[in-house]
Structure 1
Amino acid sequence: MKLRPAPREKDAQADLARLAEAFAALSSPAQVTAFLRDLCTPAELEALADRWKVVPLLQQAVPYREIHEMTGVSVTTTGRVARSLEHGNGGYAAAIAATAPPAAPESK
């Protein structure tokens, strides 16, 4: 097997930026789904979906073991997502805000 040289940090950041631009350019969930299915293996898709699945449960302060029992997602993965929610780059928070239903107007 031919080994690839490790990418330089600058190259890796540029590659990630181009990938992010591709996601941002898509205009519907169906397009994103098609891109993800082309880009990722079934196992990678499952891992991504598992991480996203536990986010609302973590926001509701459901204990990790209960999340595991409810979803089958490992306690380790749940912990990793929780750390990213707390100390990550804000990506989960941005996605949560972008997908949250609009708040109902307050009645007087």
Structure 2
Amino acid sequence: MINEKLRNELIDKLMAAILLLRNPEESYAFFEDICTVAELKAMAQRLEVASMLRQGNTYDAIVERTRASTATISRVKRCLVYGADGYEIVLERMRQKNNEGNGQEVDEDAGA
């Protein structure tokens, strides 16, 4: 479900632009231009926090691995529980891709 307070013409164009990226090299180039290094690191950190929360890691383990603050971990956890399921979609697809790369069968109906 899209947050209508977030949605506008400029953000629609941004999302469409992201979907045009074809590989990691293009993604790196685009995000290096559009974000600061700190913004990219923060987004990567939040994704890792979400993944670790889904795996059942403790806050202490997450802090140790990611150096995220407990406030950041709590915010990500709130998104996992009450958010728009964006993390869930990406984490499930990453899991599926990882399983495919390991030669494991993937149940398309499982997860997101």
Q: TM-score, normalised by structure 1?
A: 0.78
* Identity across the alignment (%): 32
Which secondary structure state, in structure 2, belongs to the residue aligned with residue 62 of structure 1? coil
Shift of residue 93, structure 1, vs aligned partner: 1.2
Q: TM-score, normalised by structure 2?
A: 0.76
Which of these residues, 74, 81, 91, is aligned with residue 76 of structure 2? 81
Distance verdict in 2 for CA 1:22–1:44, change over 3 Å: same
What is residue 102 of structure 1 aligned with on the other side?
Answer: 99
Shift of residue 63, structure 1, vs aligned partner: 1.4
| Distance in structure 2 (CA, Å) of the matches to 1:55 and 1:102 | 19
Deviation per CA, 1:34-83, whole angstroms, max 9, x where unpaired?
A: 11110011111111111012122101111112211222111111111111
2:86 equivalent to 1:91 = yes
- Give structure 1 stretches of 5+ with no counterpart: 1-8
| Distance in structure 2 (CA, Å) of the matches to 1:47 and 1:55 | 12
Which of these residues, 13, 16, 20, is aligned with residue 11 of structure 2? 16
Alignment of 1:1-108 (within 5 A): 13-100=8-95, 101-102=98-99, 104-105=104-105
Q: Aligned pair count?
A: 97
Segments of 4+ moved more than 4 angstroms:
none
Structure number with greater CO (CA < 8 Å, separation at least 6) is: 2
RMSD of aligned alpha carbons: 2.0
| Distance in structure 1 (CA, Å) of the matches to 2:105 and 2:85 | 27
- Give structure 2 stretches of 5+ with no counterpart: 107-112
